[in-house]
Amino acid sequence: MDILTGGAGFIGSCFLAKLNSKGIDDIIVVDNLKEGANKSRNLLGKHFRDYIPKEKFLAYLESNRFPKPGHIIHMGACSSTMVSDRDYLMSNNYEYSRRVSSWAFERAVPFIYASSAATYGDGGFGYDDSDENTLKLKPLNLYGLSKHIFDLWLLKNRRSSMAAGLKFFNVFGPNEYHKGEMMSVVCRCFDQLKSGQPMRLFKSYLPEYPDGEQKRDFVYIKDVTEVMFYFYEHPEACGIYNLGTGVARSWNDLAKAMFSALKMKPKIEYIEMPEKIRGKYQYFTQADMKKLRSCGCRHEFMTLEQAVKDYSSYLSSKSYI
């Protein structure tokens, strides 16, 4: 038996599908189906032992109502970078994670959890996922801070050699339809481009970056779940790891890939960035992949163009993994 928190969410539900594809269905799914329109659709067609609401899970866990699981995969969290309630984020993303991981560590249960590239802040310390660099990081938003504080707690309290944290970069793909303002640009803009509207990208406010040339490490969900399954099968690969492609691509590249998938001529407009996010905007992210490769994971990632083309087949019908 495995426990998967956030199992109805974007990454969690796709990993649930990955487990099912490997014949694994003895899984307890934990989530909050009150949040996110149509989030429950992510569970359709999936196979699992039981579903437990998030608000009941910790009490069940800490009263030992479960047998010892084979793994705990902790994807449950508030992932919005726009949330300004510090207490909520610390309770939901830090304290909740600390309690679940402590339970796992005391029982020597392999623990895989979601960290975030948001912990890197403005990138001033680079994107090196070594322990030494992690200690230096200064996130730009409260979401990134809540994830970073848990990373620091884990490094300080190494009570398990079977804990793996994954710093997700810009993940996109099917099953994100419920995420509202936190949907990827690919998901949010696909229908607009299909109807003939232009792709609207933020202008740049730094001279070294032309408009639309701000760069991100975009990583497709199918690649993400492959890497996650590597850690599922290799609990000895402990530590905190970047999960991106290792290749930064521009927003212009992303737009062109979308128009290409639609077989349309690119049409891009550059708009003003809201002042409230200008000081917290990341102009460049690119995962350093050396640590992931050194632990034995050899997965080859799709190119941005391949991933967007694949995703477009899902977006055309709003189908799910």
* Mean pLDDT in residue range 151-179: 90
Q: Residue 113 belongs to a domain with what CATH number? A: 3.40.50.720
Annotated catalytic residue 143: yes
Options 96, 120, 143, 311, the catalytic residue: 143
Does 266 fall in a domain? no
Give the pLDDT confidence score for residue 179 in this predicted structure: 92
Give the pLDDT confidence score for residue 24 in this predicted structure: 98
**What's CA 13's distance to the chain center, in Å?**
12
Does 312 fall in a domain? no
Q: How confident is the model at residue 162 (pLDDT cuts 50, 70, 90)?
A: confident
Options 54, 179, 215, 291, the catalytic residue: 179
Q: How confident is the model at residue 83 (pLDDT cuts 50, 70, 90)?
A: confident
pLDDT digits (tens, 9 = 90+) for 277-304: 888 888 999 999 999 999 999 999 999 9
Q: How confident is the model at residue 36 (pLDDT cuts 50, 70, 90)?
A: low
Q: Is the dihedral of CA 153, 158, 162, 166 positive or negative?
A: positive
Residue 263 has pLDDT above 80, yes or no: yes
Give the pLDDT confidence score for residue 225 in this predicted structure: 98
Give the pLDDT confidence score for residue 185 in this predicted structure: 97
Structural tokens at position 297: 């994971």
Residue 249 has pLDDT above 80, yes or no: yes
pLDDT digits (tens, 9 = 90+) for 96-149: 999 999 999 999 999 999 999 999 999 999 999 999 999 999 998 899 999 999
Number of domains in the chain: 1
Give the pLDDT confidence score for residue 279 in this predicted structure: 82
Does 182 fall in a domain? no
Structural tokens at position 90: 């610390």
43-50: Cβ within 8 A, 24+ apart: 43/7, 43/8, 43/13, 43/16, 44/320, 45/320, 46/13, 46/16, 46/17, 46/20, 47/20, 48/4, 48/7, 48/16, 49/1, 49/25
Residue 196 has pLDDT above 70, yes or no: yes
Does 275 fall in a domain? no
Q: How confident is the model at residue 184 (pLDDT cuts 50, 70, 90)?
A: very high
Mean pLDDT, all residues of the chain = 94
Angle at 294 between CA 289 and CA 300, to 5 degrees: 55
Does 230 fall in a domain? yes
* Mean pLDDT in residue range 197-209: 97
Give the pLDDT confidence score for residue 104 in this predicted structure: 94
- Percentage above 90 pLDDT, the chain: 87
Give the pLDDT confidence score for residue 191 in this predicted structure: 97
Does 188 fall in a domain? no
The boundaries of the domain holding residue 237 are: 2-172+218-246+285-301
Does 267 fall in a domain? no
| Pick from 21-25, 77-81, 208-212, 220-224: least confident | 77-81
Residue 158 has pLDDT above 90, yes or no: no
* Distance separating alpha carbons of residues 137 and 223, to the nearest angstrom: 26
Residue 20 has pLDDT above 90, yes or no: yes
Annotated catalytic residue 177: no
Does 184 fall in a domain? no
